[in-house]
Amino acid sequence: MTEELDENYENTMIEKYQNQITNQELHLAQNSAKSIQFVEKIDITSLTIKYCFQLDFDASLSQVTQLNINFCQLKETRYIQKMPQLFDLSLTNITLQFPLIDIQFVRNLVNLRHLNLSTNKINNLSSLQELTNLQKLELWHNQIVDVTPLAKLTQLTELILGENKISDISSLHKLNNLQKCDMQSNKLRNISVIKNWTSLQVLYIGSNDIEDVSVFSELNNLVQLSVSNNLIKSVQSFRKLNKLKYLGLFGNILKFCFLPK
């Protein structure tokens, strides 16, 4: 059951009924509230905040395990680092006084299983290197160049890194539990490391600078593959992909080819 608090609610009404709300989920959308301290007195495990501006995230929410904040302007993030019980955290399209760049506040959230920091201005991933329980990591549309801090996140099954500035993924050779990976719109040329990702079923790696695709002959579990908008000349390496149901090839420099029957 979800308690929806939309723009028509007054803060005084929230205060009046805060001790009576016992739902497990609370959604604050397009709300004029400047503070969320009242949430401390509500028995919830999931909190979603969307389209709130100049919001002071000033509450210690020790009971919340799932936190989603999207399209918001926050005054600070220090209270989030005091929520070590979180296993699901999403902070997308966030602005503080400046765009969200520094993510040190997640450094000690070691129980996280899912982390989504997409559509920000993040360029340093060192704060993620000890989050070894992560299973799903979404960092789409940031300013990332170096992915070395992700090397120890071997429990990852899904990794989203599209629309960044990544040219080297060789450090990710131990991510052999990956089932889905999105690295579209980067600067990749050498992708030989993915031969180690033997569990991979879905790979989106279009809009890069890839010529050599021989590595794909070893990825027998692939079901979906997009290599569109690269520099590929031959599809011979795809012949052994018997489980493949979708292959995106448009925007390459193929002259003439035969695909598997």
Domains of the chain: total: 1
What is the identity of the amino acid at 229? Answer: N
Closest CA to 205 of 219, 196, 218, 194: 194
What pLDDT was estimated at residue 250?
94
For residue 260, is it within any domain?
yes
All residues at 6 or more sequence positions from 20 whose CB lies less than 8 Å from its CB, including other chains: none
What pLDDT was estimated at residue 182?
99
Closest CA to 134 of 185, 175, 77: 175
Q: Distance (Å, rounded) from C-alpha 188 to C-alpha 68?
A: 31
For residue 74, is it within any domain?
no
Distance, C-alpha 209 to centroid of its chain: 23
Q: Distance (Å, rounded) from C-alpha 220 to C-alpha 201?
A: 9
Range of the domain at 230: 144-261
Q: Distance (Å, rounded) from C-alpha 40 to C-alpha 54?
A: 19
Look up residue 111 and give its two tokens: 């129980």
Look up residue 53 and give its two tokens: 């501006």
Q: Please tell me whether residue 134 adopts helix, strand or coil conformation.
A: coil
What pLDDT was estimated at residue 258?
56
Which CATH number does the domain housing residue 253 bear?
Answer: 3.80.10.10
For residue 211, is it within any domain?
yes
What pLDDT was estimated at residue 14?
53
For residue 244, is it within any domain?
yes
Q: Distance (Å, rounded) from C-alpha 245 to C-alpha 165?
A: 29
Q: Are the C-beta atoms of residues 61 and 52 closer than 8 Å to each other?
A: no
Rounded to two decimals, what is the model's pTM? 0.88
Instruction: Tell which phi-psi region holds residue 104, choosing left (phi > 0), alpha (psi between -120 and 50) or beta.
Output: alpha
Q: Distance (Å, rounded) from C-alpha 208 to C-alpha 188?
A: 5
For residue 253, is it within any domain?
yes
What pLDDT was estimated at residue 209?
97
Closest CA to 44 of 15, 69, 19, 23: 23
For residue 225, is it within any domain?
yes
Intervals of the chain under pLDDT 50:
1-10, 13, 16-17
What pLDDT was estimated at residue 53?
73
Quick one: CA dihedral 37, 39, 42, 46, positive or negative?
A: negative
* Helix (H) or strand (E) segment spanning residue 90: strand 88-95
For residue 212, is it within any domain?
yes
Quick one: CA dihedral 5, 75, 159, 130, positive or negative?
A: negative
For residue 168, is it within any domain?
yes
| CB-based burial label for 46 (10 Å; 0-12, 13-18, 19+) | middle
Look up residue 67 and give its two tokens: 């936190």
pLDDT per residue as tens digits for the range 118-170: 999 999 999 999 999 999 999 999 999 999 999 999 999 999 999 999 999 99
